[in-house]
Amino acid sequence: MAQQHLEPPTDSPAGPMSGDALAGYLRAQATEFLRSLRQHRENGTDAGTSARAKPRTESRAEPRDVPRDVPRAGENGSGESVDAARALRRSARRISGTLHTFRPLLDAEWSEGMRPELAWLSGTLAREHAYAARLERLLGALNRLSGAAGFPAQAAQDTGAPAKGSLTIGAAKAGALLDRQLTLARTRAHSAALQALGSSRFHAVADSVAVLASEVPLTPAAATADLRPLASAATDRLTDAVTALPLVTAGHPYNAEALVHGLSADTAPHPQDAPWHQVRLLLRLHRYACEVLYGEDAPIDVRLLHAGQALNRHRDAAEAAAAAASAARTPRIAPATAYALGVLHADQRHEVEAARFAFQQNWQKEAVRTP
């Protein structure tokens, strides 16, 4: 059972919110979608991801303190295309989430057809970035666990000699294995994204969003309906999902609950993670519903902001742990490599527990809103 906690903020504007506010929000997001799509095409579909799809042997010479998505000299087009792709995903998520929350006020057949297509697009575009971030997270964790300041190849180039505390043989081989597997997965995701953006399925989605930018298919009842009950229902679903979480257990850091079944041969996702991932999605839907009600004046609840960041860390650590476990199942790897991957898996599962603890601490704080 979860400890008692405050419910997320449910304040609404003083007057009733009709379907006009919903239509205005959807039109704005559809316009942003089309603007991002145009920017992405102008900067070249392939340019936005080619820099991140380069072999690791080229990227290791770059400074580690420079984010991969920050454009460098000669890469302004790439950086702008990456930003456009992110904005495209962001608009697609908001349209899809809003269609889900306020579906009683929208044409049922149209909205039920649009939602899965937008989810497909957002997921396809996000996959390459997710693999790149996962690889960076795992390699960083290997270096941290080994006491190394950076990649061994980079340290040797900078100093001309092996760096103190460089990776052990097992950790270095584990990093190389993860590099190969996740770079391959990232390359495949890159190709899948390019194919998706050129497919008839994507063009059908873009055409539907273009229609949405000018005409929102509301039901006749939407003109007089109040949006606040539907937004409150989204908040209630979030609250119920959080109540079902083991927040009492999460209140004790490093309880190692996330390591249960850690040696299982089952390759299915960790059974404890699914409820937390669901809360993350419901928190996102709650935030989108607040944007519909408040528009650009939506207050920022610092408590929910930090809780959402903790859930993002939870997802990243859980997926990184799964990637380490998958690499450890590679046939005929050396025992030292398997050991390093096991330590890495345990480290990421402890990061999962730390994120749950952080969420529990933030969720039970008093709500603090900023204008």
Q: What is the pLDDT of residues 210-224, one digit of tens each?
A: 999 999 999 998 888
pLDDT class of 246 with cuts at 50, 70, 90: confident
Mean pLDDT calculated for residue range 289-300? 84
Q: Give me the mean pLDDT over the 148-153 stretch.
A: 53
Q: Which residues contact 148 (CB under 8 A, 6 or more apart)?
A: 155, 163, 165, 166, 167
pTM over the 0.75 mark: yes
Asked if pLDDT for residue 54 goes beyond 60, the answer is no
The residue behind tokens 């527990």 is 353
CB atoms within 10 A of CB 193: 22
Residue 306 has pLDDT above 60, yes or no: yes
What pLDDT is stored for residue 259 in this prediction? 66
3-state SS, residue 149: coil
13: tokens are 């504007």
The pLDDT-based confidence of 256 (bands split at 50, 70, 90) is low
Residue 226 vs residue 148, higher pLDDT: 226
pLDDT at 81: 76
Q: Quick check: 201 pLDDT over 70?
A: yes
Is the pLDDT reported for residue 154 higher than 80?
Answer: no
Confidence of residue 354 (pLDDT cuts 50, 70, 90): very high
Question: In Å, how far are 27, 285, 328 from 190, measured between CA atoms?
Answer: 29, 28, 25
pLDDT tens readout for residues 4-28: 443 444 444 545 577 889 999 999 9
Q: Is the pLDDT score of 58 beyond 90?
A: no
pLDDT at 157: 47
Banded model confidence at residue 41, pLDDT cuts 50, 70, 90: confident
Among 69-73, 169-173, 183-187, which range has the highest average pLDDT? 183-187
Closest CA to 126 of 75, 85, 96: 85
Indicate if the pLDDT at residue 121 is higher than 60: yes
- Find the mean pLDDT for residues 133-153: 83
Say yes or no to pLDDT of 99 above 90. yes
* Higher pLDDT, residue 146 or 234: 234
Average pLDDT across the chain, whole number = 81
Cα–Cα nearest to 321, from 355, 300, 294, 348: 348
Confidence (pLDDT) at 234? 96
User: What is the band of 366 on the pLDDT scale with cuts at 50, 70, 90?
Assistant: low
* 71 burial level (CB within 10 Å; 0-12, 13-18, 19+): middle
For residue 73, what pLDDT is reported?
A: 36
Query: In the predicted model, what is the mean pLDDT of residues 275-301?
Result: 90
Burial class (CB in 10 A: 0-12, 13-18, 19+), 271: exposed
In a 10 Å sphere around its CB, with 0-12 CB exposed, 13-18 middle and 19+ buried, how is residue 77 labelled?
middle
Average pLDDT over residues 62-74: 37
Residue 153 has pLDDT above 80, yes or no: no
Angle (CA) 243 349 288, round 5°: 45
Burial class of residue 205 in the structure, from the number of CB atoms within 10 Å of its CB (0-12 exposed, 13-18 middle, 19+ buried): buried
Residue 369 phi, psi (nearest 5): -105, 145
* Position 370 pLDDT exceeds 70: no
For residues 333-358, give the mean pLDDT: 94
Say what the pLDDT of residue 311 is: 97
